[in-house]
Each structure stands twice: as structure tokens, then as C-alpha cells.
């Protein structure tokens, strides 16, 4: 009997691209606008919590985003859960953040990861000579990464999957447009009717 030939290890085809090369920026910075970028791949933090935290800081200035995340870590403010809100408890802090359902949490691990990314983007901005006080979070996106598999042992000899849910994050900070002074408008000439002219004339003659 002949033994089946095995494929040499060098000839095996990889089932997926290597980790760390899977993330691309989904959008490009606006042309002519000063910007900086930062991204993280396969970070070991839960996708759903990180997505809600990222949506909470989108559109905020860099300083406001950092102070907000620090306040969440100290449990002085909360992250409002709008999409992945199944089974999320309610808190009075969520209503203060503009929530309609009152559901919110304090995902400390996600806040710390996003704080590190904001500091990284700030360093990139300083390297490019940008004014960090004028930066705001123009784009931030969280994507699901490949699950990391483990196992947990159950009763009667069964085994269940015990997976983590990592994620990819990419963000773009842009400088705010400087306000342009509005040009002085010429006063429009008001046209009077014959009756209005007659009233004005009678009023000046009687005086």
C-alpha cells in the first residue's frame, strides 16, 4: 500500500491574510484640509463597547474627546449605547448625554485604548506641525476583527466555544476651518409707496 503524499509546508496556501495588514482607511482626508491619522489592528478589546465609545467622541474636538473619556474612566460621565443596547442597564448619566432610552455603561478598557489612539494621533499632528487645539475627530470607524478562539468545559463532558471579539479602529483628525469675517453688506434702498410718501410729507409739514 502506498502512503498518501503530503503537501510540503512551504506549498500550503494561507487561509487568511496575516494579521496587522487587514485594516485600510475607509475614507481619505479631505483635499486641502490639514489632517492626521491613527489606526490600531486586532486590539484585544470588545467590538461592541468600542464602537459605542467611538461614536460618542465622533465630531468632538481633540481636547473635549480626551476629557470626556477621562471622565468616563472616573465614572463621572457615561457612554450612551444606541445600537448594541440589548440588556444594557439604565443610568441617569445617559439622559444627561442626550440618550433617548437612558441606557449607558462605563467601558473603561475601550476608553483607555481610544485615549492611547488620540495621543498617538496628537503626536502625529505635532510631527506635521499642526495646531492640536484646532483638531477634531472628523472620522472614526470600528470594525470587527477575527475572533480569537478558546474553549470552556461544561457538564457531562461537553465543550463550548469561548471566544473574544477584538476589533480594528481607524480615525482621522482634521483642523477646523478658520472663521471668515463676513463682508459688510450695503443697506438696501427701501422703496416707498405713494401713500407712505404722502404720510411722511404730511408729518414733516405739520411739525
Contact 173, 138 (CB under 8 A): yes
pLDDT band at 21 (very low <50, low <70, confident <90, very high): low
Q: pTM of the entire structure?
A: 0.74
pLDDT band at 76 (very low <50, low <70, confident <90, very high): very high
Give the pLDDT score at 191: 83
Higher pLDDT, 111 or 14: 111
Element (H, E) at 70: helix 62-73
Segment 179-188 long-range contacts (CB within 8 Å, at least 24 positions apart): none
Q: Give residue-wise pLDDT tens across range 144-184.
A: 999 999 999 999 999 999 999 999 999 999 998 776 677 66
Contact 55, 82 (CB under 8 A): yes
Amino acid at each position: 500500500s502506498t502512503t498518501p503524499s503530503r503537501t510540503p509546508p512551504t506549498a500550503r496556501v494561507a487561509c487568511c491574510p496575516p494579521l496587522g495588514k487587514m485594516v485600510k482607511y475607509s475614507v481619505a482626508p479631505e483635499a486641502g484640509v490639514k489632517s492626521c491619522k491613527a489606526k490600531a489592528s486586532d486590539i484585544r478589546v470588545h467590538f461592541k463597547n468600542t464602537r459605542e465609545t467611538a461614536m460618542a467622541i465622533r465630531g468632538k474636538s481633540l481636547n473635549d474627546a480626551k476629557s470626556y473619556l477621562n471622565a468616563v474612566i472616573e465614572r463621572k460621565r457615561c457612554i450612551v449605547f444606541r445600537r448594541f443596547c440589548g440588556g444594557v442597564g439604565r443610568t441617569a448619566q445617559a439622559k444627561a448625554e442626550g440618550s433617548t432610552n437612558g441606557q449607558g455603561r462605563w467601558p473603561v478598557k475601550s476608553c483607555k485604548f481610544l485615549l492611547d489612539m488620540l495621543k498617538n494621533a496628537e503626536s502625529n499632528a505635532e510631527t506635521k506641525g499642526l495646531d492640536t487645539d484646532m483638531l477634531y475627530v472628523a472620522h472614526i470607524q470600528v470594525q470587527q476583527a477575527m475572533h480569537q478562539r478558546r474553549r470552556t468545559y461544561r457538564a457531562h463532558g461537553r465543550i463550548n466555544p469561548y471566544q473574544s471579539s477584538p476589533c480594528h479602529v481607524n480615525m482621522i483628525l482634521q483642523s477646523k476651518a478658520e472663521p471668515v469675517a463676513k463682508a459688510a453688506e450695503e443697506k438696501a434702498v427701501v422703496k416707498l409707496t405713494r401713500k407712505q410718501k404722502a404720510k411722511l410729507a404730511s408729518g414733516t409739514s405739520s411739525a
